[in-house]
């Protein structure tokens, strides 16, 4: 990780933005911030946030034959639902899950997108190592079969996944985004997502969707790692500082440069509306 990464920071966000479909607001914030970074209006950024209770679906999930019914069932149980645009499949969002995004300008001639996955994976491992070095030493990257939203850069300890990483690219910038399950029950989250797919698929085994086995999911707190979001977030900040990068809070960036982007800004809310309409079933 070079010294030009992560010079701006947006504060950790918890909760919903307060309007219909508000779960998409943090994603819209990243989309808008990414455009501004690509245009040279803002420096590279670190965005950290959580949501109290939701399920973010992949586009293919929303196309399953009974997806509407499955989403309505989640809503009745108090889980907001939305279709995200950064790829992957369904993931839960709650206060025990920290979403971490690096928002970066594209480097001319850059071809190996896997470097960015490796960068965020290594930062997460370093963040865990700040408070729990023994757990960090056991972290391995690779797809965990049976997990929700499986991918090549799943992070796991002892074969149980606690983190998945996705990426979204624009013409001049991109962001690489991870959900990190820090506290709570991985098994219960796995059961939630498995239940969604059981309903959404209508039991049609010929369809393509993740076959979730809840026992493959765990929280870092269950794996000998940090037991709270606050401890993990502190670790992320220290890991970045350890690479010689100075993080500037959004308020300080605003004072120094005049750049200011908030969840409630009209550009962000409009981007959330566009995402909601574009990726709705």
Rounded Cα gap, residues 83 and 62, in angstroms: 7
Contact 226, 232 (CB under 8 A): yes
Q: Are 16 and 263 in contact (CB under 8 A)?
A: no
Question: For 114-137, b where at least 16 C-beta lie within 10 A, e where not — what string?
Answer: eebbebbbebbbbbbbbbbeebbe
Q: At what angle do helices 114-131 and 229-241 cross, to 10 degrees?
A: 110
DSSP state of 212: -
- Residue 149 catalytic? yes
Please state, in angstroms and rounded to a whole number, the distance separating the CA atoms of residues 143 and 244: 31
Place of tokens 């797919």: 197
Tokens of 192: 């939630």
In whole angstroms, what is the distance from residue 169 CA to residue 116 CA? 11
Residues 6+ apart with CB under 8 A from 278: 85
Query: Which of 119, 129, 136, 149 is labelled catalytic?
Result: 149
Q: Cβ contacts of residue 17 below 8 Å, gap of 6+?
A: 23, 25, 26, 263, 264, 269, 272
d(CA 94, CA 105): 29
E strand or H helix at 127, and its extent? helix 114-131
Give the active site residues.
149
């Amino acid at each position: 990780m070079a010294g030009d990464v992560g010079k701006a920071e947006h504060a950790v966000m918890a909760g919903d933005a307060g309007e219909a479909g508000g779960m998409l607001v943090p994603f819209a914030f990243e989309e808008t911030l990414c455009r501004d970074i690509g245009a040279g209006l803002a420096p590279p950024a670190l965005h950290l946030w959580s949501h109290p209770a939701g399920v973010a679906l992949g586009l293919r999930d929303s196309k399953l034959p009974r997806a509407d019914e499955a989403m309505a069932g989640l809503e009745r149980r108090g889980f907001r639902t939305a279709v995200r645009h950064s790829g992957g499949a369904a993931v839960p969002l709650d206060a025990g899950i920290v979403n971490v995004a690096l928002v970066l300008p594209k480097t001319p001639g850059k071809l190996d997108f896997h470097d960015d996955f490796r960068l965020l994976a290594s930062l997460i491992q370093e963040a865990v190592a700040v408070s729990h070095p023994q757990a960090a030493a056991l972290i391995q990257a690779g797809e965990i079969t049976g997990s929700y939203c499986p991918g090549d850069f799943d992070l796991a300890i002892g074969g149980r996944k606690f983190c998945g990483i996705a990426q979204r690219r624009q013409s001049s910038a991109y962001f690489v985004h991870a959900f990190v399950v820090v506290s709570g029950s991985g098994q219960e989250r796995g059961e939630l997502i498995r239940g969604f797919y059981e309903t959404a698929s209508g039991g049609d085994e010929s369809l393509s969707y993740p076959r979730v086995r809840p026992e493959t999911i765990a929280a870092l707190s269950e794996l000998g790692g940090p037991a709270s979001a606050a401890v993990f977030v502190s670790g992320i900040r220290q890991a970045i500082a350890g690479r010689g990068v100075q993080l500037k809070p959004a308020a300080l960036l605003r004072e120094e440069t005049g750049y200011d982007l908030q969840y409630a800004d009209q550009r962000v809310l409009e981007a959330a509306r566009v995402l909601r309409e574009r990726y709705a079933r």
